[in-house]
Amino acid sequence: MRYLSALVRILAIMRKEFIHIRRDPRTLAIVIILPIFQLIIFGYAVTSDVKHLPLAVFDQDRSAASRALIDAYRTSGYFDIAFYASSHGEIAYLIDAGQARAGLTIPPGYGDRLARRERAEVSFIIDGSDPTTANTALASATAIGQAHGADLLQTALRRGGTLPGVLPGVEVRTRVWYNPNMVSAYYMVPALIGLILQTLTALLTAVAIVREREQGTLESLIVTPIRAAELILGKIVPYVVLAFMDMLLILVVGTYWFHVPINGSVTLLLALAALFLMSSLGIGLLVSSAAHTQQEAMMMAFFTILPSVFLSGFMFPIASMPPVLQWFSKVIPLTYFLVIDRGIVLKGNGIAILMPQVTTLAALGVVILSLAVLRFRKRLE
């Protein structure tokens, strides 16, 4: 009999809990939407497949043979011919700027050498910043070249002829730029800076403002002469300071423990981090104007952090994602900051190369922040 009353009591709590859930539409929405979200992300974005890597090609030979080689790379699916460069310098620039992940240089006389049944060399440069992509790129570059060479050999043999002393073929000389040993930490640690900055500022700002609303102290503040902008600024600055302290901590630990080399200017990194913060603070403010409780604020902030982690190129290459998700990553501020961040740390990029990302980040920041400030009203609803 005792167990029956225990069961009844347990059921009473369960019933009450279901009522709470039913009457909290936001939590319900998240419970339904989140798995779908995660399915899409894990199905498409989280991929160790490396495909459609942007490749820059410097074809100095311009023969039918060189075009055949380029085609071999294209049809493999691993590379997209993104640029036809006209100099070594251009390839270097494209890789530095992150617009190409690999560069193929075909020297003059490539076709002739093949015609003479000699070995022809081509040079393949890979951006080693992201070790996962780099490894696959490395393997595929060599494999595709060799497969192409084997094809040529087969064709040659079918036409009949003697086997020469040295087997003709294509030799792919690979070089890995930046992070030549492809240490994972070198890629992840700088990216972590971006992630922490975004998480901290968006989440803590949202919670800080909503906390005032939840505790009722917002009502006391409304009747003082304080302006909306003053309140917002006063609220965000401490979290910005905290975020910067965290950033420096990560840099220090990264440098001294993980031995991540910082090839660029730390000052520039900090300055551009401040620019990035405009966007994440704006997101935090937007969330705070929509949430009524701290719990809601945290859930909504988390919801914006999730796509940032998976779709910004933090772990998984954007190039390998389906076009829809690639489009999505274009509106995520972290995407641009990661290029800036890794560019400065791993490639020693200066502001000149990073201008496209800087301007986009600035534009995003201004838009989001303005929207957030406009929505913040000094009145009770």
Partner 1 sequence: MVNQAIVIEADRLTRRFGKTLAVDGLSLAVERGEIFGLIGPDGAGKTTAIRLLAAVMLPTAGEARVLGFDTRRQAERIRQAIGYMPQKFSLYGDLTVRENLDFFADLFNVRGAARRRRLDELLAFARLAEFTGRRAAALSGGMQKKLALACTLIHSPQVIFLDEPTTGVDPISRREFWDILSNLHVQDVAIFVSTPYMDEAERCSRVGLMYAGRLTECDTPDALRQLAPGELLAIWTPQIMQARAVVSALPDVLEVQTYGDLLHVFVADAAAARPRLVQALAAANVPITEVKRTSPRVEEAFISLITGKRRPITDH
The site for partner 1 (CB under 8 A) is made up of: 215-227, 378-380
CB nearer partner 1, residue 180 or residue 238: 238
Q: Write down the least CB distance from residue 379 to partner 1, Å.
A: 6
CB nearer partner 1, residue 171 or residue 219: 219
Is residue 27 a contact partner of residue 21, using CB atoms and an 8 Å limit? yes
Residue 369, H or E segment: helix 351-375
Q: Write down the least CB distance from residue 271 to partner 1, Å.
A: 31
Give residues with Cβ within 8 angstroms of 357, minimum separation 6.
336, 337, 339, 340, 343
What is the C-alpha separation between 370 and 190, in angstroms, rounded?
28
CB nearer partner 1, residue 65 or residue 209: 209
A 10 A CB-CB count for 211 gives 16
CB nearer partner 1, residue 80 or residue 212: 212
CB nearer partner 1, residue 4 or residue 381: 381
CB nearer partner 1, residue 214 or residue 246: 214
Measuring CA to CA, which residue among 122, 127, 69, 137 is closest to residue 101? Answer: 127
Report which DSSP code applies to 320. Answer: G
Q: Write down the least CB distance from residue 215 to partner 1, Å.
A: 7
Mapping DSSP onto H, E and C, the string for 193-233 reads HHHHHHHHHHHHHHHHHHHHHHHCHHHHHHCCCCCHHHHHH
Q: Write down the least CB distance from residue 233 to partner 1, Å.
A: 14
Q: Write down the least CB distance from residue 218 to partner 1, Å.
A: 8
Q: Write down the least CB distance from residue 287 to partner 1, Å.
A: 23
| Strands ordered across the beta sheet of 53-59 | 79-84, 53-59, 102-106, 119-127, 169-177
